Amino acid sequence: MTLLATVNSDVPFNVAQNVGFGVIAVLMVTGALRVVTTNNVVHAALWLVLVLAGAAAQFILLAAEFVAITQVLVYIGAIVVLFLFGVMLTRAPIRGEAGLTRSNWFGGALVGVLLLGLLSFTLLDTFGGDRLPADTRLTLRPAAVSQAEGTEPTAGSNVGAVSDSIFSRYLIPFEAVSVLLTAALIGAIVLARKE
């Protein structure tokens, strides 16, 4: 645990947060592994729900409630349902399908492991034991505490700030995304429509 040694220890760790993170992270990794290994597409979709929900929980830990809620609404609410429809429409057998994984999965695994190794090395090398500056502020403590520390009160909801940001600074990308969604909608209809 060399990285813990480099942590500047003037602020104590918030144990509850870290435990929460650990549990969720383990669940997410397990879920993700099952998504890519299970032999049943429907199960894969359900495992995916676990990963997505875990990601939403992580967002809440990072004080990004709005992203978390959007994650739940859009991903779990819409995208996973879409996946299930896709599974149904393509009549994949509900029961296990022996060959859901390709025969040369080994290459994929190799690439994945290589990638993970490289990424981990780079991350540890670059960010080492950097603590989130908001470690103390990210908790759901009342605003009074952060004011006492002379920092911006972010403990409250930041939905307003996010929306201000979207509709002022990022307005053009926002409009572009809406055009993209329209295009995707039309494209999907054109593709999927029966002649």
CB of 56 to another protein, least distance (A): 10
Q: Are 34 and 43 in contact (CB under 8 A)?
A: yes
**Angle, helices 15-37/41-61, rounded to nearest 10 degrees:** 160
- Identify residues 40-69 at the interface with another protein (CB under 8 A): 41, 44-45, 48, 51-52, 55, 58-59, 61-64, 66-67
Least separation in angstroms between CB 156 and another protein = 14
Interaction of residue 172 with another protein, rule CB under 8 A: yes
**Rounded CA separation 111/118 (Å):** 11
Residue 178 CA: distances (Å) to CA of 47, 111, 143, 154: 30, 35, 35, 29
**149 near another protein (CB under 8 A):** no
Which of 94, 109, 143, 144 touches another protein (CB under 8 A)? 109
Instruction: Choose which of 32, 145, 153, 156 interacts with another protein (CB under 8 A).
Output: 32
Of the chain, the end-to-end C-alpha distance in Å amounts to: 61
What CA–CA distance (Å, rounded) separates 103 from 90?
22
Contact status: 19 vs another protein (CB under 8 A): no
What CA–CA distance (Å, rounded) separates 31 from 48?
7
CB atoms inside a 10 Å sphere around CB 142: 11
Verify binding: residue 96, another protein, rule CB under 8 A: no
Q: Which is nearer to another protein, 144 or 161 (CB)?
A: 161
**Judged by CB under 8 A, does residue 94 bind another protein?**
no
Q: Nearest Cα to 131, choosing from 11, 1, 2? A: 11
Determine, following the binding rule CB under 8 A, whether residue 146 of this chain makes contact with another protein.
no
Nearest distance, CB of residue 18 and another protein, angstroms: 6
Residue 36 binds to another protein (criterion: CB under 8 A): yes
Q: What is the C-alpha to C-alpha distance for residues 145 and 164, in angstroms, rounded to an integer?
A: 25
Count interface residues toward another protein (CB under 8 A): 105
Residues 9, 23, 96, 118: which binds another protein (CB under 8 A)?
Answer: 118
Q: Which is nearer to another protein, 6 or 144 (CB)?
A: 6
